[in-house]
Structure 1
Amino acid sequence: MAEEQSGVTVVGVGVVRVPTTEAAVRLLVERREPQPGAAMREAAAVVAAALEVLRSAGVPDKDVRTAAVSVSPNKVWADEHEQIQGYDAQQRLHVRVTDLDVLDQLLGGLVDRCGTALQIDDLSLSGEPTAAARSLARRQAIEDAREKASDYAEFTGRTLGRAESVDETPDAQRPLPPPRGRMAMAAAASMPIAQGEDTTTVTVRVHWQFE
């Protein structure tokens, strides 16, 4: 018979605040024209103008990615059957901005050049944790786990011994933000951007021995 394991396994969490260092901007270019080719050409012209603005603001080409391109008929129901009333051409751009000081200038430039043909699907700020921040979060996670294990030892009349194993849970991928109502660029550019702070979280699973 296997020897019964003596001890308790607990989960500890450490959370450290870090300054925001970059912005992720999701842009949508959309044009509607009577013919699909015309819609594509008009959308391409808007995208080209947006790329010029991004380069002028110092955003490198590697931080700009086309996420999707589509052309589809705009169908409406009339006279008891579907009718095509033009074609919608779309291109979605994902932009990474690492210099937050240029964010207002960047949005304003897109407004001036692209107008309502370009919209913001989402803008989010995040921070990249330093090695020191991750180390502090790990320390807090272990201390959190020790406090929980000490409680269990006390409540069961045992003495807490040494930690026998420690597993760090990989960071979970952050969920994508839910779809929001699209904002015209002119409206977004007039809004001040509050940088605030982000957080880095470390989760550990620790087995503590009872003496």
Structure 2
Amino acid sequence: MKKTRLILLLVLVLGALQVQAQQQQVLPPLVSVTGVGEVRVQPTEVVVNLGVETREKTLEAARNETDKKAAAIINYLKKQGVDARDIQTSYVTLHPVYNGGEYGKTSPDFYMAMKTMTVVIKKLNKYDEIISGLYGVGANRIDGVSFQVGDMEKYKAEARKKAVSNAKQKATSLTSELGAKVGRVYAINDSMPGGGPRPMYKMALQEASAGYADQGGPSISAGELVITSTVDVSFIIE
């Protein structure tokens, strides 16, 4: 009885494998291409990573001073028209610092507290004014600046549409050279790589503020963002 069941099981497995092999072998004639779509847009927002760093003799003093300055920064940004939803604390650290010297030293030379935040400025023409005023309220570092657009999904969809059109054009061009025609889509894979140039810099905020005062025009150039979509498409050849 067991032998009969084993034989039946083997027959079923071999049958399934044979059907799968036949399905894998019977593929329609295909032309596979990669389509690329690109959309260039003017940035509408600037993202600033800034922070405050404080060094004090005691842990409590460092924490309190940093919290005080961070609160002043947030209050200043709100007064400048930055929405509370566009201000986010991104990193907080508090630790002792030992400068070396005496072996086995157990007391730190000082304590360092740091709090950083990410701010989205939606009015590019206010960038210089906002940045130059941050130093006066306690900020002492800028870790990065990048640009983005508010309605990214709209431009992603546009780039994807262009990518699909580009794929169809490529497939049509290839098959027409061989006297064939492009049929229906057999398979498609969509990918969306990162969207374009994002200028980054790191400088002391005091130096940046002094630079703004000396310049007569805007201190940044937003340029343009390149949003790209890539699709891999297989068409049936007729």
Which TM class, normalised by the smaller chain length? 0.7 to 0.9
**Aligned counterparts of 1:64 and 1:152: Cα–Cα separation in 2:** 51
Partner of 1:169: 190
Mean CA deviation greater in 63-72 or 201-210: 201-210
Partner of 2:160: 138
The TM-score normalised by the length of structure 1 is 0.84
1:184 equivalent to 2:208? Answer no
1:38 equivalent to 2:61? Answer yes
Q: 1:6 aligns with which of 26, 29, 49?
A: 29
1:106 equivalent to 2:130? Answer yes
**Aligned counterparts of 1:25 and 1:173: Cα–Cα separation in 2:** 19
Q: 1:37 to 1:132 in 2, by over 3 A?
A: closer
Partner of 2:19: none
Q: 1:31 to 1:130 in 2, by over 3 A?
A: closer
1:95 equivalent to 2:119? Answer yes
**Aligned counterparts of 1:26 and 1:172: Cα–Cα separation in 2:** 23
Q: 1:160 aligns with which of 174, 178, 181?
A: 181
1:207 equivalent to 2:234? Answer yes
CA contact 1:160–1:208 (8 Å) conserved in 2: no
**Aligned counterparts of 1:174 and 1:19: Cα–Cα separation in 2:** 12
Q: Which has the higher strand share?
A: 1
Number of residue equivalences: 206
Q: Which amino acid aligns with 1:185?
A: L
Q: Percent identity?
A: 28
**Aligned counterparts of 2:87 and 2:40: Cα–Cα separation in 1:** 28
1:146-181 deviation per Cα after TM superposition (whole angstroms, max 9, x unaligned):
3432454356x3513124146462534679x8996x
**Aligned counterparts of 2:72 and 2:109: Cα–Cα separation in 1:** 27
Runs of 5+ unmatched residues, structure 2: 1-21, 213-218
Q: Which has the higher contact order (CA 8 A, sep 6+)?
A: 1
**Aligned counterparts of 2:168 and 2:50: Cα–Cα separation in 1:** 46
CA contact 1:129–1:200 (8 Å) conserved in 2: no
Q: Which has the higher helix share?
A: 2
CA contact 2:89–2:118 (8 Å) conserved in 1: yes
